[in-house]
Amino acid sequence: MLLVKRKIIKSLAVKCTLTALMAFPLGGCAADEDLNNQAPATISAEAPATTEGEQVAAETTAVEVPVQDPVVVAQTRDALLAALPAGVTLKFMPELSSVYTTSEMKSLWEDEKVQKLFEQQLAEMALAGIQPQFGQWAKLLTQPEITGIAKDAVLSDALLGYMHFVEGVKANGNRWLYNKGSYKMAAPSVEMIGQWQQAVKDGSSDKFIQSLAPQNTFYSKMHDSLKPLVEDVQPWPQMTLAKQSLRPGNSHKDVPVLRDILTRSGLIKGDAETTSHNATAEGETSAPKKKVSLVYSGELVDGVKRFQQMYGMETDGVIGNTTREALNMAPQTRAAILALNIQRLRLLPNSMDHGIFVNIPDYSLAYYVNSELILESRVIVGSVKRKTPLMSSALNNVVVNPPWNVPVRLIREDLVPKAKRDAEYLKRAGYTVYSGWGKGATVVDPSTIDWSAGGNYRLQQAPGRSNALGRFKFNMPNDDAIYLHDTPNHRLFDKNMRALSSGCIRVNKASELANILLNEVGWDDNKIQNTLKRGSTTYANIREEIPVQLYYMTSWVSNSGTPEFRTDIYGYDSAAQEGIKELPQVEKLLR
């Protein structure tokens, strides 16, 4: 190992805070955002949970930090540069020069198990595609000429970039993980670098690296499911079908291709004699092939239904455009999507066992109380044009017989055009028009309004069965005026694609949810029914606010160990396409 002579200096240690300037400052935690890459939906992020190590660092107001001799740091920098192959640079050279001065150029990655543990997390980051620099590090670490102190330095360089991500993801993750561009990477905080150095010194690097991975309970299964997807590198069969649907009992030339896809996906048993795409080696004589059926029936239909269930589709066995596109998705693409969703786990509570959880692309709600599943329900979420924002909040009251104050945007885009076409529409639909939004606003006859002239009118729909909010509304404080509510049109819940609302969450089992919450505050069934019959708006406060998480996960692993995927309705998975480019080196790091 390349060593640097340590210059003997007087041991002058000074008391200073960890944020004090050093000869080579170690950078800051704050992310330098790329303002051109803004997420398409407003987000409210919950405060990050504090780990034991972070708590200790937060409570430490001053430590003894020896002042580093700039000459020695410069010598370390030169030694690092000399160790690197031509053309290889380190992104965080100033920080690493200081770190390796402290270690006297000794390896920070002597334990191969720790190195492997970090490389696997780095592979997940590279495959997620959210920052191309992680792919560059993965590529360097798989090059045979990167050895010794050069590899040590590249690992440390990658770790600094990774630590910056881990530090900033709670506050910035909704831009970093739901965007069409990469975020701007910076150095991690002095505190976090100090924690790493202390872990190396104490021999607890393994625990430190493990603490950087997502701590959510879903992580382990998702991590384990990546490797088989990444390793399936053979060309993936493609169904054509054009715009037609393939129904059970139909015949089509793509049926053998379908059999290949289902076999390789593990959904039906393989049959070497009936696979259509296996080619023989040059010069070999192929064995006579059994006649391949072109009829879509039997086990193929059952396999497609299981596949549709994995993708949250209607399990009818009909292969339309959506099912065909999903069947044609190669394992590597699924791996990249899974890797991206692994990083999204960082924005969720570590244990999702208490509260109301709405997964937007799954169109589902789950209500847990102390690890017990109390209620599951289908939901309707915001359309592509009116996306439901991601957020953490807390449900604080239930409104029985809610009125609906129509948002300005919906007045302008939805109701005014209808009022222009039909002067009586607003009256028939139960809307009251007010002259403004203030307390002194007066009622206005909608038939007297010239809607073309504009105006700051407020529209309110009275409580009742035809009210757009239905009979129950569930309030939770947030800056986007988003809430859960009932609906008068429950037929829409029969649809498979339910991105249909203007942003708020319509709950199919709103009545059941309301009954559960109202019972907890002393309302019996008679009181609920009598209040509904009276029709008057009534508020019921919740004794203990219930956490509500609106999140966006397009892939996870079920309890049975099967990777599941959902349609990316808002187009947030585009980063995964960048991650696919890193597959060769990712596969090596995951071995």
Q: Which residues are catalytic?
A: 485, 504
What are the tokens at 486? Answer: 């009932």
What are the tokens at 28? Answer: 């800051």
**Which string of DSSP letters, residue by residue, matches 151-205?**
HHHHHHHHHHHHHHHHHHHHHHHHHHSSSSSPPPP----HHHHHHHHHHHHHT-H
Strands 538-551 and 355-359: parallel
How far from chain centre, in Å, is Cα 423? 45
CA nearest 365: which of 550, 216, 570? 550
What are the tokens at 402? Answer: 């809610």
The residues, any chain, with a CB within 8 Å of residue 434's CB and separated by 6 or more, are 441, 442, 443, 444, 457, 458, 459, 460
Give the integer Cα–Cα distance in Å for 508 and 540: 21
Strands 458-461 and 431-434: antiparallel
The single residue listed with the structure tokens 């209040």 is 531
Beta bridge partners of 443: 434
Give the integer Cα–Cα distance in Å for 17 and 30: 18
The single residue listed with the structure tokens 């059926």 is 293
What are the tokens at 228? Answer: 């088989």
Give the integer Cα–Cα distance in Å for 239 and 325: 8
Do 380 and 539 contact (CB within 8 A), yes or no? no
CA nearest 18: which of 213, 192, 225? 192
Strands 355-359 and 431-434: unpaired
How far from chain centre, in Å, is Cα 543? 31
Give the integer Cα–Cα distance in Å for 54 and 45: 19
Give the integer Cα–Cα distance in Å for 336 and 435: 53
Give the integer Cα–Cα distance in Å for 395 and 570: 25
561: left (phi over 0), alpha (psi -120 to 50) or beta: left
Give the integer Cα–Cα distance in Å for 146 and 88: 9
- 3-state SS string for 67-119: CCCHHHHHHHHHHHHHHCCCCCCCCCHHHHHHHHHHCCCCCCCCCHHHHHHHH
